[in-house]
Structure 1
Amino acid sequence: MNKYLLRKAILVWVLFSAFNTANAAVILPSFFTDNMVLQQKSAVPFWGESDAKSVNIKTSWDKKSYTGKVVNGKWNVVLKTPIYGGPYTITINDGTIKTLKNVLIGEVWLCSGQSNMEMPLKGWGKIDHYKEEISNANYPQIRLLQAEHIESTLPLNTLKVQHGGWNVCSPETVADFSATAYFFARKIYKEKNIPIGLIHSSWGGTLIEAWTSSGALTTIHDFDTEIQAMKSEVDAAALLKKYNADMEDWEMKLRGSDQGFETGKIIWATPNFDDSSWKTMTLPSFFDSNGLGNFDGIVWFRKKVTLSENSIKKDLIISYYADDDDMIWVNGNYIGETKGYNVKRHYTIPSQFLRKGENTITIRVFDGSGNGGIYGDENFAAKSEKETISLAGDWKYNIGADSKNLPAKPYLAQGQNRPSAIYNAMIAPLTDYKIKGVIWYQGESNAERAYQYQKLFQLLINDWRDKFKDKNLPFFFVQLANYKQQKQEPGESDWAELREAQFKALKLPNTGMAVTTDIGNGEDIHPKNKQDVGGRLASIALAKVYNTKIDYSGPLYKSYSIKGNTATIDFDFNKNIKARDDALKGFSIAGSDQKFYWADAKVVKGKVEVYSQEVPNPVSVRYNWADNPIGNLTNASGLPASSFRTDIWAGITQEKK
């Protein structure tokens, strides 16, 4: 090769190498962005991808340099973080320089669960005083990271996030963020003046097994079939086929038991059907709060409306929400049906089905669990181009079928509620991100399997501690709030059993529970007072993590003894134990027949004595054992006591999986 060609080859090689180096732009995970918070006083993993041979990282807080060797396109280093402070920068150089700005060193908390954790300040949440809270949310030392709703069959390496990554807390950024998480951070920041980073990864209506890794779930064998189906298309198809067959059989049984049908024909939707003996209910509303507390099954509604000559010339549109599924008829003519509690209905009523004068609208609602009915705002109406006919108000109603008379409805975990599906996409990518602790608000969706939750909840806590490589990772959670109709007499309750499962998780080290049975809403599964929820979680963290002298718990059941006709209950956190107002309420007592009666109760020397003339030989005491309890036991903190029972009798969820 002559000198000219040699020089040309060398020049091409140099230019090619320079081009490659210039284009070896580093790729960072979605949670390493401007405005992020890194855990203080820690060895913090920091990683990414590059086409270069190595990557150099410089941190402004200590002016140190770290070099990460690139292996198979990936690199990682461990950064040493100081005590809280900032803002700082992190510069990453793999031939192309990338600088992360406005980085804080502080405390990072993972905030997770279902809809009550997800509930935003504004949006669908509209918490108490949301406008004022949003306008006052100027906290540049609090940072927010919002995970997207994603599920996956296998664990992912990347987390999908909203808004480009971390955001500074402000009125512009906080409105659609978790209210509970925000109020948690705000209280800690006001008390300790430490920057707080909130990673919010939650999803409404989800089951705890979806948030748990498949490896952990396989140790209890309750979900082996579903986990195997996620790995195998053949098994998944077989599982779906069986579910479809079981569901078809169940729906035939449901329809067969529905009194609104007779030999397969609709009788309760016909215009001339006599509904004079039916009761009356005001709609829109949940029927659980209108005399049908905790009812699951089919309820039929009928209403007569008067239409003018003009009204019947055009099609009418009827819009509303139904929980869970509905069917609608007008003057005996079938209009349509919709499945799903969160789907807004928009039904078109053809003008040929309408008549001048009296018209009968019939709606059949099936509710599988929780609240049921026709709900939404008061603007419940039939509308045409020229006219609006209000449908809000009194409707006739009757029960078509009660689910308690049927076998359990078949269930198939699908989408995000498949075991481990959310863990794989919304937690697994985060497990190398150094965090201080976890706050958790979930359980409503597992209430029907509350006994199983006893092992599932503790399994999740231990699983996350294992995956985040911190066996003492603080894990603080919210016990379910009061909800549904209050009962006049003591009885069984799946929500009480779920609260018991949460209470039992306190035996794990470095856990804490915020009791909220005094700030819920019997008619709303999403109570608006999230200030106190976040604040109570923050009090636990301040006491247990930040060494602040603060009351953080109401009384917690410790032990009991029985002497004669009186049971004596001892509590942890019993300083100045008392009734919040008037006499103690919420205690019930039973003998060996397991029949509970409301009991008298009084505080004697820091303990509670419980007795009833109906039970001369007591065996068990329960407190706040209800969906929507009325108990008022508290202590010096002013916080409510957790519900409890002294017996271990089989509950209503013990056999459910």
Structure 2
Amino acid sequence: MNTYTKRSLLFAFVVGHLALLPWHTEAKVTLPAFFSNNMVLQQKDNAPLWGSTDSKKEVKIRTSWNGKSYIAKPDSKGNWKIAVSTPSYGGPYSITFDDGETLTLSNILIGEVWVCSGQSNMEMPLAGWGKINNYEKEIQSATFPEIRLLQVQKATSTAPLSDVKIDGGSWQLCSPNTVENFSSVAYFFARNIYESKHIPIGLIHTSWGGTIAEAWTSGPSLKKMSDFASAVQKMENDRNGDGSEEVKYQAALKVWTAALNAKDQGYEGGKAIWAATGQNVSDWQTMTLPATWESAGLGEFDGIVWFRKTFTVPAAWAGKDLTLSLGPIDDNDYTFFNGTEIGKTEGWDKPRTYTVPGNLVKEGENYVTVRVYDGSGNGGIYGEAKKVFVKNASGEKVELAGEWKFKKGASLTDLPSMPVVNTGPNRPTVLYNAMINPIVPYAIRGAIWYQGESNASRAYQYRELFPLMISDWRKSWNRGDFPFYFVQLANFMKANDQPVESEWAELREAQKMTLSLPNTGMAVTIDIGEEKDIHPKNKQEVGRRLALIARANVYGEKIAYSGPIYESNKIENNTVRLSFKHTDKGLSIKGGNELKGFAIAGSDQKFYWAQAKIVGNTVVVSSPQVPNPVAVRYNWANNPSGNLYNVAGLPASPFRTDDWKGITAGKK
């Protein structure tokens, strides 16, 4: 163990107490929340430091690693900024700020700093709501004092902010106590690099589940896209106004909701007639739940669907309170028990658990009715079968997974577009303003990103939006084309028996196209997703694959870091020969001797499953049903089963050779 490692361990207890001192209020110098004890500064850099001083005097800054002093001159408002040179990795060090009163930050490490952002799969903690694979063991072993964690609190703003709130008030040393609610992807990314390079790692985690990429993009950049220009302009116009945009939105939403309810056949005169006792459901169809209704045969449908499940209650349960669990519902629900409403919830990722009052519970036949509204993408009662049940106080259960009756209540195609949400995180620019802008220009090595699920229904638009966002961040930081590595969407939802169109496949394509930007990398996770959970539990492998990209391209290791990426094709009579890059010692088949996941089509654009075989570093594809092939697709589905890898054990990215119009083309 080297010197700075020993010293970090010796000072850990002391620094933990130093972090609690109220130094912000005692000193005239005020720093943004992310300049604190335990922080990590980027090595071999000119790291910006900034803040303000009440005294308006010059701020003398001294860095212990080189004994050098700097003078920062405040402007008329007391704000100042300066850059300090940092050495190769090491520490712990300190920085002293003096404007007549002294403020000292301690236990600072010099190392590698990464920003970690995106939506829920980046946010997903080791424990908490995430509970990744082997989370208890992973947490117990997570003592890495040279990995430092900074958790940015969620916030929105229509104007760029200059500071953020930090969980715990400061950087935290990675330990079982601090890591359990931190991003699992970010942690495993850092752990893999640290165990390889033994360089201190600083992680700035700033993500928010269910969010859209345009919320993470700045106004000046986003206005370059015609799809968002007017929305950004409206926000800027209303920024310092009287909130008129919010008033208009609420009024428009009320009108739209009334129109939706009027279209819903399940309501009549304001009463939920399809939930009523005695409702005839003989003409309702049957669906096996839990499942997204797209994967269960309903197809691409947005609107309202009513579900009903009849079950038998034991005599001993009659008249007693019960607990109804339905798992997550996408997006919103009203839930009824024997015709009486017992609860409602908004949010596609929130588990539904409702109390059933005893006066509603009778011996024998009872029924649950659920009115589900879905605004875009997937919809329905989905999740794990074991989480759909009704139980009594003793924990005895009646399982409700299986066949349910269902009927469409209203389709959004019969309504004008829903008003744009003008509150919350899913608005253009508001997360960039509140959760990215404040940390710019903190010296960083690069960024990792896991997002896209919330933009899947607009995948063609993402082709322009995602590269724009990356370029926007790079411009804001003014650090050149810093490394930006992202996760391609994992497999999810029910597998299809035949080749189909897929929003998620088109989003993955948009992500792969973004590799045309310099210094980007993509971790393919098409093999580690889960059919019924949009949040795969194997975050260890996600972090590892991201780390492989960094270790190869930033830290110079001679290792494979990508699975096969489609490069070109050649039609040879009744076959198509596909060529790849990143074959790394050759292509391979995982889990058998037969390649899966390939589909082939002729000029009629009708795809059939194909036979495929590896020939050298190419794959040759054919089908007797397509004598004159023109296009091939691989793993082109929500939850495909392809098994093409390279010898390094990394999966091939989904792809298609055609450019036929997709189902998300033109969607905004």
What TM-score, normalized by structure 2, do the two folds share? 0.88
Aligned residues of 1:569 and 1:607 also touching (Cα < 8 A): yes
- Counterpart position of 1:47: 50
Aligned residues of 2:325 and 2:387 also touching (Cα < 8 A): no
- Counterpart position of 2:346: 339
CA drift at 1:237: 3.8
Cα-to-partner distance string for 1:32-72 (whole Å, 9 max, x where unaligned): 11110000110111111112311111111100111111222
- Counterpart position of 2:420: 412
Measured at CA, do residues 289 and 619 of structure 1 come closer, stay the same or move farther in structure 2, by a change above 3 Å?
Answer: closer
SS in structure 2 opposite 1:415?
A: coil
Aligned residues of 1:250 and 1:409 also touching (Cα < 8 A): no
Gaps of 5+ in 2: 1-24
- Counterpart position of 1:27: 30
Instruction: Name whichever of 602-611 and 190-199 sits farther off.
Output: 602-611
Identity value in percent? 50
- 1:304 and 1:349 map into 2 onto residues whose CA distance is 14
CA drift at 1:634: 1.3
Query: 2:519 aligned with 1:503, yes or no?
Result: no
- Counterpart position of 2:453: 444
CA drift at 1:335: 4.5
Matches within 5 A, 1:165-564: 165-231=170-236, 232=238, 233-253=243-263, 255-256=264-265, 260=266, 268-273=274-279, 297-306=304-313, 308=315, 311-312=318-319, 318=324, 320-323=326-329, 324-343=331-350, 345=352, 347=354, 349=356, 353-368=360-375, 369-370=377-378, 372-373=380-381, 378=386, 390=398, 392-394=400-402, 396-401=404-409, 403=411, 406=414, 410=418, 412-413=420-421, 414-564=423-573
- 2:397 and 2:134 map into 1 onto residues whose CA distance is 33
Measured at CA, do residues 403 and 515 of structure 1 come closer, stay the same or move farther in structure 2, by a change above 3 Å?
Answer: farther
The Cα RMSD (Å) is: 2.8
- Counterpart position of 2:63: 59
Aligned residues of 1:34 and 1:166 also touching (Cα < 8 A): yes
Measured at CA, do residues 32 and 535 of structure 1 come closer, stay the same or move farther in structure 2, by a change above 3 Å?
Answer: same
Aligned residues of 1:293 and 1:484 also touching (Cα < 8 A): no
Cα-to-partner distance string for 1:300-341 (whole Å, 9 max, x where unaligned): 1222333537732x5655455451322333433454544333
- 1:384 and 1:638 map into 2 onto residues whose CA distance is 48
Measured at CA, do residues 110 and 408 of structure 1 come closer, stay the same or move farther in structure 2, by a change above 3 Å?
Answer: farther
- Counterpart position of 2:594: 583
Max Rg structure: 1
- Counterpart position of 1:637: 648
CA drift at 1:245: 3.1
- Counterpart position of 1:622: 633
Aligned residues of 2:27 and 2:103 also touching (Cα < 8 A): no
- 2:419 and 2:152 map into 1 onto residues whose CA distance is 28
- 2:360 and 2:400 map into 1 onto residues whose CA distance is 21
The residue type paired with residue 471 of structure 2 is: N
Instruction: Name whichever of 440-449 and 361-370 sits farther off.
Output: 361-370
- 1:229 and 1:179 map into 2 onto residues whose CA distance is 37
- 1:274 and 1:23 map into 2 onto residues whose CA distance is 71
SS in structure 2 opposite 1:222?
A: helix
- The equivalent position to 2:121 in structure 1, one of 100, 116, 119, is 116
SS in structure 1 opposite 2:509?
A: helix
SS in structure 1 opposite 2:275?
A: coil
- 1:505 and 1:371 map into 2 onto residues whose CA distance is 28
- Counterpart position of 1:141: 146
- 1:104 and 1:514 map into 2 onto residues whose CA distance is 28
Cα-to-partner distance string for 1:561-585 (whole Å, 9 max, x where unaligned): 2122111111111341232231211
Cα-to-partner distance string for 1:231-275 (whole Å, 9 max, x where unaligned): 32444544554444344334433x13xxx5689875543444455
Measured at CA, do residues 526 and 293 of structure 1 come closer, stay the same or move farther in structure 2, by a change above 3 Å?
Answer: farther
The residue type paired with residue 588 of structure 2 is: K
- 1:202 and 1:91 map into 2 onto residues whose CA distance is 31
Instruction: Name whichever of 558-567 and 142-151 sits farther off.
Output: 558-567
- 1:632 and 1:554 map into 2 onto residues whose CA distance is 11
The residue type paired with residue 405 of structure 2 is: Y
Measured at CA, do residues 342 and 644 of structure 1 come closer, stay the same or move farther in structure 2, by a change above 3 Å?
Answer: closer
- 1:140 and 1:350 map into 2 onto residues whose CA distance is 50
Measured at CA, do residues 262 and 489 of structure 1 come closer, stay the same or move farther in structure 2, by a change above 3 Å?
Answer: farther
Aligned residues of 1:178 and 1:200 also touching (Cα < 8 A): yes
